[in-house]
């Protein structure tokens, strides 16, 4: 079953077609927010604003049309079943007159269909064999001074979902298995209540429906795009990141605040602040701390945010209420001062002063960096090697001891094999956490302070129990590993030396 066939059988999301979505807060996907990140000013959408929803599914264009009442929306998807359900939902929501649907592969669309002022791609990039070409197509369809909002899976932080998939597949379950939802629930219910596989399944929102199960755990093609690869693809496509749109607790700004909260030294905080926004986000993924799917706000690299907005800027809708509306509108019109858009909670503006340090594609250094991990080919294909493709997990030779062995032309040793591992944590998941932790330590600085600070910052994951109570979930993050090692009596220095491959944990 390929991706098209999957969505013909299981249109996503699994919401009844008569259900009309509730209005979302404007900061979630508003065109105005993206323009505010690009220009630091309020730029409202107009009747001439064109919006493209790529890989639209059966719901998102209705939400987008409701949030932009003056704009026209073009919805593109591979699945005819999804588009049929979308058209019915648009009729019920009374926005069908502004939504045009087209069944096609995004790469098959002619550039003449553009330009679009705003392009959304939610949950599509990681289901494409050529994500680099998808981003290039988005750039080709994007109008000058346009914006794009792209959501994709986190490469490393999602590894427990892939562990659950392996668990199901080891018991013979496939997307076509009869009574799949019941079988999955039975298998997870047989595990202890706090087993990481069980809690990962039960806390996954889409596990409640068959469509969600197939999409989350049995997808026909599911290869998340690492942050470093996303940056490389954007650079090739002529796109730049202007901000992040996912929940604030999984943004670099929250990590920086946590460093100050636990009393990290000025040296450690300065080292973190010296990283680019891309590298900070990748650091969070290395630590398995991207608890939500990353959302990138993008614009064309060639765009200059200065001087591309009207001289007489309309009043911000936040202020355009009550008795103050007319006086404020007149004042802004006289002064030609743009009304500021209140920044969304969690919005992060990229720092263009900082530069990315990943080696350029095509160089020998890049070949060594990519060897054994995800390979970026010239045609924009993100091609995992056989090992990563079989295990469906992101592996990276930038782990310090592996990088040194690769540079010397040697087979890298598995130095993490002597780290204590609970019986209910699969070896592959344990290794994934340790490799990401080792890279994070290398970036933040190989000092005992780094181990101490990370053990305090990386708190246990929790799930809601009702009435405001929560329950800690063990062994889901890098912090669990560090706290376990410290509780076993290992010193910060010994943990540091073992993570960086300098000595065994036990010797």
Same domain, 464 and 389: yes
Q: Final residue of a domain: which of 306, 338, 356? A: 356
For residue 143, give its domain range.
1-154+224-246+293-356
| DSSP secondary structure of 161-208 | HHHHHHHHHHTT--TT-TTHHHHHHHHHHTS-TT-HHHHHHHT-GGGG
257 domain-assigned: no
Q: Final residue of a domain: which of 328, 356, 384? A: 356
CATH number for the domain harbouring residue 50: 3.40.50.150
Q: Final residue of a domain: which of 323, 356, 389? A: 356
268 domain-assigned: no
What are the pLDDT tens digits along the chain (507 aa)? Answer: 899 999 999 999 887 766 666 665 545 788 998 999 898 888 888 989 999 999 999 999 999 998 899 999 999 999 999 999 999 999 988 898 999 999 999 999 888 888 999 999 999 999 998 999 999 999 999 999 999 999 999 988 899 999 999 999 999 999 999 999 999 999 999 998 888 899 899 888 888 899 999 999 999 999 999 999 999 999 999 999 999 998 888 889 999 999 999 999 999 999 999 999 999 999 999 998 888 899 999 999 987 654 444 433 344 443 444 444 445 444 433 333 333 333 333 333 332 222 223 334 444 433 433 333 333 333 333 333 322 222 323 334 444 544 555 555 554 444 566 778 877 788 888 888 888 888 899 899 889 999 999 999 887 777 666 666 777 776 678 888 888 888 888 889 888 888 877 666 655
286 domain-assigned: no
Are the beta carbons of 505 and 419 closer than 8 angstroms? Answer: yes
Q: What are 78-132's pLDDT values in tens digits? A: 999 999 999 999 998 889 899 999 999 999 988 888 899 999 999 999 999 899 9
Residue with tokens 């930038």: 398
C-alpha distances (whole Å) from 415 to each of 47, 485, 503 are 60, 15, 8
Same domain, 9 and 83: yes
Are the beta carbons of 60 and 51 closer than 8 angstroms? Answer: no
Per-residue pLDDT at 238: 95
pTM, 2 dp = 0.79
477 domain-assigned: yes
Per-residue pLDDT at 309: 42
254 domain-assigned: no
**Which stretch of DSSP H or E encloses residue 92?**
helix 80-93
Q: How many domains does the chain have?
A: 3
Same domain, 10 and 137: yes
**Which stretch of DSSP H or E encloses residue 268?**
helix 266-273
Same domain, 457 and 391: yes
Count of H-run helices and E-run strands, the chain: 22, 11
Same domain, 327 and 180: no
Same domain, 391 and 462: yes
Same domain, 230 and 318: yes
Same domain, 305 and 380: no
Same domain, 113 and 66: yes
């Amino acid at each position: 079953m390929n991706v098209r066939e999957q969505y013909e059988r299981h249109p996503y999301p699994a919401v009844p077609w008569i259900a009309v979505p509730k209005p979302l807060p404007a900061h979630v996907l508003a065109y105005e927010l993206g323009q505010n990140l690009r220009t630091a000013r309020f730029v409202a959408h107009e009747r001439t604003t064109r919006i493209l929803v790529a890989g639209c599914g059966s719901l998102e264009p209705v939400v987008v049309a409701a949030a932009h009442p003056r704009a026209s929306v073009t919805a593109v998807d591979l699945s005819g079943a999804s588009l049929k359900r979308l058209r019915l939902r648009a009729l019920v929501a009374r926005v069908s007159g502004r939504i045009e649907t087209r069944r096609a592969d995004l790469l098959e669309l002619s550039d003449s269909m553009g330009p679009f002022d705003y392009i959304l791609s939610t949950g599509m990039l990681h289901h494409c064999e050529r994500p680099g070409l998808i981003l290039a197509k988005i750039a080709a369809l994007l109008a000058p001074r346009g914006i794009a909002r792209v959501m994709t899976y986190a490469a490393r932080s999602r590894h427990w979902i892939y562990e659950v998939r392996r668990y199901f597949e080891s018991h013979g379950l496939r997307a076509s298995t009869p009574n799949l939802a019941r079988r999955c629930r039975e298998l997870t219910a047989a595990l202890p209540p706090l087993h990481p596989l069980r809690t990962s399944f039960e806390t996954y929102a889409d596990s409640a429906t068959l469509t969600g199960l197939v999409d989350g755990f049995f997808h026909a093609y599911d290869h998340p795009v690492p942050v470093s690869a996303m940056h490389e693809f954007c650079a090739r496509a002529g796109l730049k990141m202007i901000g992040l749109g996912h929940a604030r607790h999984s943004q670099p700004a929250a990590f920086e605040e946590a460093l100050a909260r636990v009393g990290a030294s000025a040296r450690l905080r300065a080292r973190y602040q010296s990283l680019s926004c891309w590298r900070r986000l990748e650091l969070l993924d290395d630590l398995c701390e991207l608890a939500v799917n990353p959302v990138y706000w993008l614009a064309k690299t060639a765009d200059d945010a200065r001087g591309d907005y009207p001289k007489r800027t309309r009043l911000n809708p936040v202020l355009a209420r009550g008795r103050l509306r007319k006086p404020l509108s007149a004042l802004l019109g006289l002064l030609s001062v743009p009304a500021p858009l209140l920044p969304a909670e969690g919005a992060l503006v990229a720092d263009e002063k900082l530069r990315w340090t990943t080696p350029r594609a095509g160089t020998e250094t890049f070949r060594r960096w990519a060897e054994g991990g995800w390979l970026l080919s010239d045609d924009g294909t993100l091609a995992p090697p056989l090992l990563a493709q079989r295990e469906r997990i992101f592996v990276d030779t930038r782990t310090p001891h592996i990088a040194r062995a690769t540079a010397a032309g040697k087979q890298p040793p598995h130095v993490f094999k002597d780290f204590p591992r609970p019986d209910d944590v699969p070896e592959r998941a344990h290794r994934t956490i340790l490799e990401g932790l080792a890279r994070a330590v290398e970036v933040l600085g190989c000092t005992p302070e780094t181990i101490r600070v990370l053990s305090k910052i990386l708190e246990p994951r929790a799930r809601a129990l009702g009435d405001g109570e929560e329950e800690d979930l063990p062994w889901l993050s890098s912090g669990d590993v560090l706290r376990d090692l410290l509780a076993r009596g290992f010193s910060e220095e010994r943990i540091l030396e073992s993570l960086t491959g300098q000595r065994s944990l036990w010797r």
